[in-house]
Structure formats: C-alpha cells, structure tokens
Amino acid sequence: MSSSNDFNNIHFSISGNGIARLTFNRPDKLNSFTEEMFEEIRTALLRVQTTEGTRCLVISGAGRGFCAGQDLGDLDFSNLSDTVEKNYNPLVRSIASLDMPVVAAVNGVAAGAGANIALACDIVIAARSASFVQSFCNIGLVPDAGGTWSLPRLVGGPRAMAMALLGDKISAEQAEQWGMIWQCVDDNDLSTVVERIAERFATAPTTGLAFMKKLLRQSWDHTLDAQLDLERDFQAAASQTRDFREGVQAFLEKRPPNFTGS
C-alpha cells in the first residue's frame, strides 16, 4: 500500500489493488476547506492521476461530518472569485474528468461546497444520519462547486430552486428518494458498502468505465444524433482495449474475466 503521511489536512493512500482513498481530515472543523487543505488535495489527485494501476477513488470525511464547505475563518473575502477559480472549479473538474470511477462516502453533514463536491462524484453513498445542505443563502452567497449545474439535473428545477433559496437540510433518505444520490445505508454499513463497490471497481474494465463517464457527462450538451456518433466512436475505442478482448474470451470460456484496467 502506498500511503502519504506528509499531509496535515487529509489522509491519502493507494492500496495494492488500485483503490485510492482521500479522506478530508479536519474533524474538529467538520472537514471545512482551507487554502492549505486544497493544496494537499491537488497533490493527492495528481498522484491518483499519475500512479499506474489506480482503478478508483474513494472520497470520505473523518469524524462526524463529510465536509461543511469553506472554512470562513480561512477565506479572503476580497477575492472570492479567485478562491472559486483556483480551488473549487479545478477540484470539480478533476473529479468529473478522472479516468476512473469516483465514489463519495458521505458519513455526516455535507454542507455548502462540501455537498456539491460530494454530488460531483460518480457514485454517492450516504449514511442514514447524513444530510445535504445548500447553506449559501444563509450568508448571502450563491452555490458554487458546480451546485447550480448538478442540482437541477439530479433533482429537477423546482427542488433545486427550493434547496438553494431555502437552504433546508435534506436527509440522506430524502436525497436517495429524489435521485440526488445513489444509495442511503445504515451508518454501521457505510464503510462495508463503499468498500464493496470500490473492490468491484478495482477488478473492472477501468478504461471502459472512463469512457462511460465521458459519454454520460457530455450527453447533456448534445443532440441525440451527436450522442449516437459519440457512442460509435467510443465503442470503437473500447473494442481496442485488452479488457474487451479478455471479457469476450472469458465469456466464451465461461469463466470470470481478469480485467487489468487497460
């Protein structure tokens, strides 16, 4: 296992089976973001992107919360747009474009940008005690970290508008019912369920999954005809991977496939 102990605000490791784990680690502050924390996250994500054999990323929070958003005590109020452009936008773009599945394990409150970072992940599993709060309205700001893009697409216009304007707490159960997250599980089962999903991804055809991410995320901007053309092109690329050949051979030989992620 590759583990990095040179961080003050996060835990980061990559296991031997290719599962990368990034844990926000400021539990006394509900893992709220600081400038130093963003620097460490950028370093960790670069290692995810450049470490050969990495198959998926799990993002979680230490203690009783996932992330409470920005630490207001560590914010330059005169340059909010610079903070968004330097820290939040690159993080969301990195999660969306990462060539592997990204799983969010939401163990407690996910508020403000913390909620939207979770919703930027490919699969969100939340403990039953967790909640999601668009808290920006309470301090006169607007949702960032992609919230105004993801929320209408996940829950529809009316719900997204009410969440943003009212800032009400949405329980994990409600989030699952609305289709905002993939699954709500009992608190004691969160780590087990997330680990099971991560292990599935660690033995999956990673390149094919990366192509799926790109197709699904780009589909909002395309007509049906344009998307059909993209599916054709990505299918052609997928058919050239070793994992495709292994999948077909395993099917013909009636055995489990041994995908290498390439």
**CATH value at residue 84:** 3.90.226.10
Query: Rounded to the nearest 5 degrees, what angle is found at the Cα of 183, between the Cα atoms of 179 and 184?
Result: 110
- Predicted local confidence at residue 205, as pLDDT: 96
Residue 1 has pLDDT above 80, yes or no: no
pLDDT tier for residue 5 given thresholds of 50, 70 and 90: low
Longest dimension (CA), the chain: 64
pLDDT tier for residue 78 given thresholds of 50, 70 and 90: confident
- Predicted local confidence at residue 2, as pLDDT: 55
Write out pLDDT tens, residues 131-169.
999 999 999 999 999 999 999 999 999 999 999 999 999
Residue 68 has pLDDT above 90, yes or no: yes
Does 141 reside within a domain?
yes
Looking at per-residue pLDDT, the higher value among 4 and 246 belongs to 246
Portion of the chain with pLDDT greater than 70, in percent: 98
Residues 27 and 138 reside in one and the same domain:
yes
Write out pLDDT tens, residues 208-225.
999 999 999 999 999 999
The range of the structural domain enclosing residue 227 comes to: 206-252
Give the phi and the psi of residue 183 in degrees, each rounded to 5.
-155, 140
Residues 13 and 85 reside in one and the same domain:
yes
pLDDT tier for residue 3 given thresholds of 50, 70 and 90: low
Residues 165 and 238 reside in one and the same domain:
no
- Predicted local confidence at residue 82, as pLDDT: 86
Report the C-alpha gap between 230 and 193 in whole angstroms. Answer: 33
Instruction: Domain count for the chain, please give it.
Output: 2
Report the C-alpha gap between 141 and 138 in whole angstroms. Answer: 8
Residues 27 and 126 reside in one and the same domain:
yes
Residues 96 and 210 reside in one and the same domain:
no
- What's the chain's average pLDDT? 94
Query: Rounded to the nearest 5 degrees, what angle is found at the Cα of 38, between the Cα atoms of 34 and 40?
Result: 115
- Predicted local confidence at residue 4, as pLDDT: 57
